[in-house]
Structures are given as C-alpha cells and as structure tokens.
Amino acid sequence: RQGVTAAAGSIYSTPRDMARYVAALVGGGGGEHGTILKPETLAMMFQPHYQPDPRIPGMGLAFWRVDLAGHAAVEHQGVIPGFNSQIFLAPNDGVAVMAFTNGSRNASGWLTGEMGQLLRHIIGARDQGIRTDVPQRPDIWGDLCGWYRPRAQRTDMMAWSMLGAGAEVTFRRGRLMVRTLSPIPALYRGVELHPDDNEDPYVLRLDLTKYGVGTVRVVFSRDASGRTTGLHLDGILLSADKHPRSINPRLWATGAVGALAAATTLRALRRPQTRADAKRST
C-alpha cells in the first residue's frame, strides 16, 4: 500500500536494525560496534520534558513515559496506513520488546497495550487493573461534573478525534461517568470513572480493556481554592480545561434541534388550510 508521508514517517527500517536500536536504548547507548550516545544523554531522553500534571509521567524526548507498577518505562509507536510498529522498554530493568505488523485491523488501538502487557509479564510488574479497595467519593462528584474543552491546537487531529468537541463528566445511576463529544460511539456513550488512589480522590481510572487499550489513568487538576480546573489522560497525554456549562456545544446542539422542532410544529399549526385539508376535516 502506497502512502505519502513526511518527517519521521518517511524512513523505513527492518526488524533486525530496529532490534539493534532498541538494544542500544537499554544498553546504555552502545551496541556491537561501539558507543553511540553517552549514558547521561540517554537518561536525559527518558526524563520528563513535558507533564500536563505532576501525577502524569509525561513525555521525554520523543518517548512517552509509562509507570509500570513502579518500573519506569518508555515507549513509542509507529503508524502509517497499513503498517504499525511499537517499541516498549524498561531501561532500569534492561528489558525491551518490539512488534511489527502489516495490515492488522485497528492495530493502532491495541498494539501499545499488548506490548505493555508483555513487558509487564517479563519484568514481573503487576497489572494495572481497576482497584476495588478504594472507596467512592460522591462528595466531590458535583465539583468534577461539567464540560471540559480540549487543550489542543486546531491542527491536533489526534486530540480532536479522541475528545471531539470536549469531554463531559456526569453521574448516572450512582456511577461517575465521562464521555467525549466525538464520533467514536464507545466514547460518546460514556465510560465509568473508578477511584484509583486512596490518598488522592482526584485520581481515577477508565477500564478500556474490551477495546484492547487496557486501563487509562485520569487525573483532575485544581486551582488554589480547590476547585476543579481540568482533566488529564495518561498515556495519550490529552488534556481538557473546564468551562462553563452554558457554552457546552452539546447543549447548544440540543437546543438548536429543539428550536427547529418547535419552529416546524408552529409552522404546521399556522399553515393555511387547503381545500383538501378542509374536505378531510369535514
């Protein structure tokens, strides 16, 4: 399959060469032909250079940072039409995994999660599942609920495709939920938010395992007064800022549909009675 790509996507390699590269990343910057990078340079690449919130591992230099139950890990995925690749490594453990696949269905959604699970298994890190030992905190739900607008540029297609016009946090039938105003049906229907930290009730987790993604940590940031100001997704590093409910685009759309229906009904009621209408009414 032909694809026109730019920047990083315009280069290709082989699994053998990528294995050499990954081995150098976990081997202190060197390989079979000598040292390429100093260990301190490599460490700088893996350090956080962007964190939307201190509780989110963030991103290094072109590496997404991941906390595997106390084991520091970094990863990066490659996606162009028809081809998917993934590297996932735990530098301090000296272990890395990589995967390449051609033409696999929805691989961009599940490949990262699968490689993360494989790496967990190799280094003995426990699964990051949904915790049942953390109590619900309905006393803060009222502050969490609201509409959150994506913190993204107009050209950030990943952010807008995932979050759409924004994220809504609500509670239904005794459950705290989040849904995105996006074309993705599963996200639009909503996903339950589960408490994930006994010490911090503003740290929660989504269960997306049935979609092949695993679980995703969600943290809510607050201002100096303790009021919720935004939400942040771990892994894909998406953030959204809380805005007044009055400018929620879903409410505007719902109101517009209601106004259109009311106008249509009013027009029908005011329509002049035709001869055929008069005949039917008699």
pLDDT at 252: 47
Full-prediction pTM beyond 0.95? no
pLDDT at 270: 58
Pick from 18-22, 144-148, 164-168: least confident: 164-168
How confident is residue 200, by pLDDT bands cut at 50, 70 and 90? Answer: very high
**Contact indicator for 90, 123 with CB cutoff of 8 Å:** yes
Res 164 pLDDT > 90 = no
- What span, in angstroms and rounded, lies between the C-alpha atoms of 213 and 190? 15
Question: Is the four-CA dihedral 45, 50, 53, 58 of positive or negative sign?
Answer: negative
Taking 3-state DSSP, the helix, strand and coil percentages for the chain, each rounded to the nearest 5, stand at 35, 30, 35
48 strand-pairing partners:
none
pLDDT at 225: 94
How confident is residue 237, by pLDDT bands cut at 50, 70 and 90? Answer: confident
- What span, in angstroms and rounded, lies between the C-alpha atoms of 188 and 166? 10
How confident is residue 266, by pLDDT bands cut at 50, 70 and 90? Answer: very low
How confident is residue 264, by pLDDT bands cut at 50, 70 and 90? Answer: very low
How confident is residue 197, by pLDDT bands cut at 50, 70 and 90? Answer: very high
> Which range is most confident: 156-165, 173-182, 214-223?
214-223
- What span, in angstroms and rounded, lies between the C-alpha atoms of 36 and 21? 10
